[in-house]
Amino acid sequence: MNDRLRELLPTAPQGANDVLFRAAAEALLGRGKRVRPVMTMLACEHVGGRAIDALDLGCAVEMIHSASLVLDDLPCMDNATLRRGAPTIHISHGEDAAILVAIALLNQAYAAVLDARTIRPEVKLAALRNLTKAVGFDGLSQGQIRDLRDTPDRRDENGLRQLNHQKTSALFINALESGGAVGGATADQIRSLASFGEAIGFAFQLRDDLMDAVVSSEETGKDERQDAGKITFLDLWGEERLRAAIDESLERAREAIGPDSSLSRYAERLMRNAHLER
Ligand code: GRG
């Protein structure tokens, strides 16, 4: 995966200013878990396709995710100093470079889908259309502005569910649906993958909220207590109920696609994170 991500990143022309290229490589090739691209590939395999055919699409999703992390870390958003175990991009290269890296990675993601040789043209177009939805007004961007600006009275259970859907689940659902489409999924299979993505995205955000509160920054590679001052499900529900909700969501995910799928097994391993075991 890392090799392909590296190949899909342009290198600076000889003698050119290479700040954007170096900063983009740092943002993309750092110590991320690669959860979304792995799911894209497993979704393709789940419906009978070859995982490798969905590799470039998965890399595109990872580029979008990495761009969103660079923006999320900016001083005007979460003001984070540490990400994936390294200084955040605006700390190492400046805010100007960080903003431009995010824009460049987002564009490179769309280019990677357009250029993918293993994806049929009509599937590419649908994947691009879905990516624009996952990033825009009903996806990451809207989820993020709500996370930054919603007043506490809007952060009730319903509000937080919607926010988490836009901020986190939308990209998971997209990664899974598009991976399935590359593998030739039927409409029913796409619906199952979307339900799986919804459940896993929710569980993943709950897990992220819990890790923020109870795991050290050496283990997460991120600043600690980044959510302090924001109402999350941990505040609404407390730790016990939140852990139970993670288990329930995992169960729903398993039911959506079946327990024997390698996707289900991957999700299970991901959630049984050593740092959160008791
Ligand atoms: C224009 C791309 C774009 C985004 C604009 C900034 C923004 C809107 C959205 C940020 C949304 C955000 C930070 C969601 C959090 C999702 C989440 C749970 C991140 C952690 O994902 P992991 O654990 O991280 O997969 P690694 O580092 O392992 O990849």
Q: Which residues contact 93 (CB under 8 A, 6 or more apart)?
A: 19, 22, 23, 26, 101
Choice from 28, 33, 63, 68 to test ligand 1 binding pocket (greatest atom count within 8 A of CB): 68
Buried b / exposed e over 160-184, threshold 16 CB at 10 Å, is: bebbbbbbbbbbbbbbbbbbbbbbe
The residue whose CA is least distant from atom 4 of ligand 1 is: 68
Find the 15 Cα to ligand 1 centroid distance in Å: 33
pLDDT at 15: 94
Reply yes or no on whether the pLDDT at 276 is more than 80. no
Dihedrals phi, psi of 86, to nearest 5 degrees: -140, 165
Higher pLDDT: 275 or 167? It is: 167
pLDDT at 274: 58
The whole-chain average pLDDT of the chain stands at: 95
The residue whose CA is least distant from atom 12 of ligand 1 is: 167
Q: In the chain, how many domains are there?
A: 1
- CATH of residue 129: 1.10.600.10
Closest ligand 1 atom to residue 168 Cα is: 16
Percent of the chain with pLDDT over 90: 88
Residues, the chain: 278
User: Beta strand pairing status for 86-87 and 82-83?
Assistant: antiparallel
Dihedrals phi, psi of 31, to nearest 5 degrees: -80, 55
pLDDT at 143: 97
Choice from 40, 71, 135 to test ligand 1 binding pocket (greatest atom count within 8 A of CB): 71
Q: Mind listing the pLDDT tens digit for each residue in 191-224? A: 999 999 999 999 999 999 999 898 888 888 888 8
The CA distance from 135 to 137, in Å, is 7
Give residues (CB < 6 A) around ligand 1.
Answer: 32-33, 35, 64-65, 67-69, 71-72, 84, 106, 135, 140-141, 144, 167-168, 204-205, 208
CA distances from 230 to 95, 177, 259 (A): 24, 31, 35
3-state DSSP helix/strand/coil % of the chain, to nearest 5:
75, 0, 25
State the residue range of the domain holding 213.
2-276
Query: What average pLDDT score do residues 48-53 get?
Result: 98
Q: Mind listing the pLDDT tens digit for each residue in 221-239? A: 888 888 778 899 999 999 9
Find the 16 Cα to ligand 1 centroid distance in Å: 30
Reply yes or no on whether the pLDDT at 240 is more than 70. yes
Query: What average pLDDT score do residues 12-20 get?
Result: 95
Reply yes or no on whether the pLDDT at 106 is more than 90. yes
Percent of the chain with pLDDT over 70: 98
Closest ligand 1 atom to residue 31 Cα is: 27
